[in-house]
Each structure stands twice: as structure tokens, then as C-alpha cells.
Amino acid sequence: MSTKIYLCGGINALSDKECKDWRERVKEELKEKFDFLDPMRRDYRGKEDKLYRQIVKNDLEDIRKADYILALANQPSWGTAMEIYEAFQHKLVVTICNQENISPWLRFHSSIIVKTIDEVVEFFNRLKADFKGGVDEHKKY
């Protein structure tokens, strides 16, 4: 069984660069150790009004299947916030946020907050080595 990371972050009304670049970099850097659930594989931009139920159901299913959640939260996004909240109930949530003043809500619902993708890669490499893919649910990382 492979260890899966759900790549949570803004999509609606964002450019390809904003949606895809960070996800592709993470996947490339960690491809030897993790599999990824990337919501961009179902790019519904421009169809959100018609397919909103399907979008949310698919994302919730990915969150359920994931072992870890990686969220890019450098700018506000309703979907990202709700996915973080949903995931935090049962998953380790690693959040990338480069803001100086981080919302108390984001801090509370993140297991760990880092500022850069380099820090994310380091964290997940260390996590995989230390826990061999498992999560100590009682430990705040």
C-alpha cells in the first residue's frame, strides 16, 4: 500500500501556473517516496457552477483516501480552508504559508506550518524516514 498525499490548494479563478507549478514541483521532489492525489487531474475550472457537487464530493473522497494533506495557503481560498478543516479531523495537515500574520484558524487546523516547498520536502522526507509512512496521531509535529 502506497502512502498518499492530497495536494490541497486554490484552483478556482487561478492560472495554470498558480494551480500547477507548486504541485508539480512537490510531486517531482517526492515521487520516489509518495503517491499523490492531485485535484488538478480533474480540472473543472470554468465549470464550477454546474459541477460544484461533483467537485466537492471528489475532493472529499481524495481527502478520505489520503494519508497526509499538503495545503498551500499563501492566499485565501474558501475551498482550501474547508478542505483543511475537513482533513484536520483525522489527518496530518502540513500547510505551506509564507505570510507573516497567520490566521489563528489556520494555525489551529494545521499539524505543521512551513514557509517554503523546500521545507515541505525536507519534512516529508524526514517523516517517511522516521515513521516509515505511519502517523503518530498523538504527536503534534
CATH code where residue 99 lies: 3.40.50.450
- pLDDT digit string, tens, across residues 88-103: 999 999 999 999 999 9
Give the closest residue to 41 by CA, choosing from 79, 18, 7: 7
Residue 138 counted as domain residue: no
pLDDT bracket for residue 131 (50, 70, 90): low
Q: For residue 81, what are the domain limits?
A: 4-131
Total of domains in the chain: 1
Residue 35 counted as domain residue: yes
Residue 140 counted as domain residue: no
Instruction: Provide the whole-model pTM.
Output: 0.88
